[in-house]
Amino acid sequence: MGIPAYSVRMAKESDGAISALLKLTQQPDMISFGGGLPSEESFPVEDLKNIINDITADLNGGVLQYGVTEGYLPLREEIVKLMASKGVQISVDEVLVTAGSQQGLDLIAKAFIDKGDKIIVESPTYLAALQAFRMYEAEFIEAPLDEDGVIPAELDRILATEKVKLIYLIPTFQNPSGRTISAERRKELMEVIRKYDVVLIEDDPYGDLKYTDDIYPTMKSMDTTGQVLYFGSFSKIIAPGFRVGYSIASAPILSKMVEGKQSCDLHVSIFSQMVIAEYLKRGLLPEHLQVINAQYKEKRDLMLASLEEHMPDGVTWTHPEGGLFLWLELPAGMSSNELLPEAVNQKVAYVCGDSFYAAGEPKNAMRINFSNATKENIVKGIITLAEVIKNKM
């Protein structure tokens, strides 16, 4: 058999970073700092068992039947309440339930992007977002950053000189860096965005995983023109296996996303939606967040302390106030790509930094995750990683 005639978009070479990560996390003896997996200890197992038992005790057509593409109405109503707690007033008609927030990225790209259309992204940014947008042959513009995030004057300059369709940001506890755009900077960015005919995607899967009392208003809460799309997810805060996320958008944009979803999977599993809806309806989320945030803060603090104790001079890292990741930078001239085979040989995995850049640079960085490893393995893994780095210096 000859080479299949793949479409142009699928024939292009992929780095396969996500597939490789998931395979590494399945190895039982691997200390994986690579994936973005929440800790299995964080799953509210007993509450979910009770809810599932209640739902299946009266198994009926409603659980087993097709549903509407927009999503299970009681869940959308709960999402409206959840968004109100974030300062965003919406109706159920502005909510689309998706298969994780990842599907939202695909649907918005399907709705907006033609070959050559330009998207502004942070540098670095979420690698799976880059993959989703590349699938539709977008072109990327990397926005200049400082410690507070995207620089408003630079964003203004780009939008004034380039025809841009979308801006993609993870303002809170960003993946991969863990950095957060300050509240004041968010206001300045929104002032710039209102000047232009452009749509901002606010991707916020980590915003509820915070380890300080600081408050970061969503950019959607500052949106007076309908330019901000908000993507949320229950994967990191309840359980990823249900694959339930949501997109918030104005009715015209949402209708296009609904059309795109209908041609893909019709709707998210009704059973999964019912479980998440009931979990929210019973008011279980706030207390659960307190519990898991305490767990993750302890792990973050342990990883930071281990890095401080064991990493050699010249290695730096971020100090995130929430989320699941740290961003570690090696001295200039070193390559995390070259270190990875030896680290994996020593049973420690991470993600090389170049995967998170639209232009593929720099190679001296890596993303490390603290949520999924045990406390023992966090210490052991950092000691091992530090030794690998020292041996290459």
CATH value at residue 18: 3.90.1150.10
Mapped to the 3 state alphabet, what secondary structure does 253-274 carry? HHHHHHHHHHCCCCCCCHHHHH
Structural domain contains residue 93: yes
Residue 303, token pair as written in the block: 């990883």
Give the pLDDT confidence of 170-215 residue by residue, as tens digits.
999 999 999 999 999 999 999 999 999 999 999 999 999 999 998 8
The verdict on residue 49 lying in a domain is: no
Q: Does residue 222 sit in the same domain as residue 205?
A: yes
For residue 63, count other CB atoms closer than 10 A to its CB. 13
| pTM of the predicted protein model | 0.93
Q: Chain-wide mean pLDDT for the chain? A: 92
Compute the distance between CA of residue 16 and CA of residue 70 in angstroms, rounded to an integer.
31
- In the chain, the amino acid numbered 238 is I
> Which tokens go with 306?
């281990």
pLDDT mean over 157-173: 97
Which alpha helices (H) appear in 194-335, and where do they start and end?
A: 251-262, 270-281, 285-310
Same-domain pairing of 101 and 213:
yes
- 30-35-36 Cα angle (round to 5): 140
Strands across the sheet containing 139-142: 95-98, 245-248, 228-233, 199-203, 164-169, 118-121, 139-142
The vertex-368 CA angle with 363 and 370, nearest 5°, equals 175
What pLDDT does 36 receive?
A: 86
* Residue 2 is assigned to a structural domain of this protein: no
Position 14 pLDDT exceeds 60: no
Q: Span 367-392, mean pLDDT?
A: 96
* pLDDT tens readout for residues 228-266: 999 999 999 999 999 999 999 999 999 999 999 999 999
Are the CB atoms for 197 and 226 separated by under 8 Å?
Answer: no
pLDDT band at 145; cut points 50, 70, 90:
confident
**Does residue 1 have a pLDDT over 90?**
no
Say what the pLDDT of residue 62 is: 78
Across 140-149, 270-279, 298-307, least confident range: 140-149
Task: Tell me phi and psi for residue 83, to 5 degrees.
Answer: -65, -35
Euclidean distance between CA atoms 203 and 168, whole angstroms: 7
Pairing label, strands 31-32, 348-349: parallel
Among 246, 281, 316, the domain-final residue is: 281
In sequence order, the 6+-apart residues with CB closer than 8 A to the CB of 309 are none
Give residue 30's domain range: 8-44+286-392
What pLDDT does 168 receive?
Answer: 98
> What SS3 state is found at 146?
strand
Determine, yes or no, domain membership for 161.
yes
Mark whether 169 and 318 lie in a shared domain. no
Instruction: Looking at the structure, tell me whether residues 113 and 218 fall in a common domain.
Output: yes
Q: Is residue 54 part of a domain?
A: no
Is 248 found in the same domain as 108? yes
- For residues 328 and 63, the model is more confident at 328
Residue 153 pLDDT exceeds 70 = yes
Decide which of 281, 296, 329 is a domain's last residue.
Answer: 281
List the one residue out of 139, 132, 125 whose CA is nearest residue 169.
Answer: 125
Q: Are residues 235 and 339 located together in one domain of the fold?
A: no
The residue from 238, 255, 281 where one domain ends is: 281
- What are the tens digits of pLDDT across the range 297-340? 999 999 999 999 999 999 999 999 999 999 999 999 999 999 99
Instruction: Identify whether residues 222 and 134 lie together within a single domain.
Output: yes
| Confidence band of 12 (pLDDT split at 50, 70, 90) | low
User: Is residue 299 situated within a structural domain?
Assistant: yes
Q: How many domains does the chain contain in total? A: 2
Specify the pLDDT at position 89.
Answer: 96
Residue 147 has pLDDT above 70, yes or no: yes
pLDDT in tens, 92-112: 999 999 999 999 999 999 999
- Give the β-pairing of 325-329 and 316-317: antiparallel
14 Cβ contact partners less than 8 Å away, ≥ 6 residues apart: 131
In a domain, 53, yes or no: no
For residue 361, name the pLDDT band (cuts at 50, 70, 90). confident
- Are 187 and 273 contained in the same domain? yes
Angle at 107 between CA 103 and CA 111, to 5 degrees: 170
What percent of the chain is modeled with pLDDT above 70? 93
Integer Cα distance of 109 and 94 in angstroms: 18
The label of the residue with tokens 């869940």 reads 75
Cα–chain center distance at 240: 12
Q: 384 with 342: CB under 8 angstroms?
A: no
Q: Is residue 196, in this structure, part of any structural domain at all? A: yes
Tokens linked to 247 = 């997109």
Q: At what angle do helices 152-161 and 183-193 cross, to 10 degrees?
A: 20
Which pair of tokens denotes residue 118? 């330009």
CATH number for the domain including 122?
3.40.640.10
User: Hey, how many other C-beta atoms are within 10 angstroms of the C-beta on 41?
Assistant: 12
Location of structure tokens 């793949």: 6
Distance CA 254, CA 154 (A): 30
Question: What is the model's pLDDT at position 129?
Answer: 95
Whether residue 226 sits in one domain with residue 130: yes
Tell whether 186 and 299 lie within a shared domain: no
Identify whether residues 65 and 211 lie together within a single domain.
yes
**Are both 21 and 143 inside the same structural domain?**
no
What's the pLDDT score for residue 2?
57
SS3 track for 160-195:
HHCCEEEEEECCCCCCCCCCCCCHHHHHHHHHHHCC
